[in-house]
Amino acid sequence: MKTIQYSVLVAASFAVMAIGCGNPAPQQSTGPVVPEPTPVEFPETLMASIALTDPVGVVDARKNVEPGAEITVTGFIGGREEPFVDGRAIFTLADSKALTRCDSKPGDSCPTPWDACCDEPEKIKASVATVQVVDGKGMVLKRKLNGVGGIAPGSTVSVKGRIAPGSTSAALIINAEQIHVAPKP
């Protein structure tokens, strides 16, 4: 009797394995096939290989905000823990003269020194600008800037562009046309 039960058990196991093997059943489509989006490319002229001339700090740039005006501003990418916007060509630029990077303080071991968390929140708010890369229609490109041409949190950069429509001295937004990443010291 035990031999028969054992034989039935082995046969059933092989049957289950046989059913599970082979090609999977084809999946039924629930709608039209949507192609993967084409990666958005940045303009070839976006990354400047030489330093941009006569940049001003963010604090000075915020004193005279005229939407549409050309501007060149400098600082470091930071002012918050995550200075980039996921999936968008936007970052926060912090004034290097107005804000203190935590790694400039002896003995500080802050894992995100570019966030300037050593400064008061109101000082940070008054010392940052938003930098974005837009297309010909003024729409922000759908691609993250982090990693492009050496751009990274804490990088010292200069940005040449135009002050975006709707910008004010309290909320400076720059449509970048060129970005130069300074060599690390």
Would you say 174 and 158 are in contact if contact means Cβ atoms under 8 Å apart?
no
Quote the pTM value.
Answer: 0.77
Would you say 176 and 46 are in contact if contact means Cβ atoms under 8 Å apart?
yes
The total of other beta-carbon atoms located within 10 Å of residue 153's CB is 19
Strands, E, within 42-149: which ranges? 56-57, 70-77, 90-94, 128-132
Domain 56-181 has CATH 2.40.50.200: yes
Task: Give residue-wise pLDDT tens across range 19-69.
Answer: 344 444 444 545 565 554 555 688 889 999 999 999 999 999 999 999 999
H helices of 1-148, in order, are 2-20, 58-61, 121-125
DSSP state of 102: G
Q: Domains of the chain: which residue ranges?
A: 56-181
Task: Give residue-wise pLDDT tens across range 104-115.
Answer: 777 777 889 899
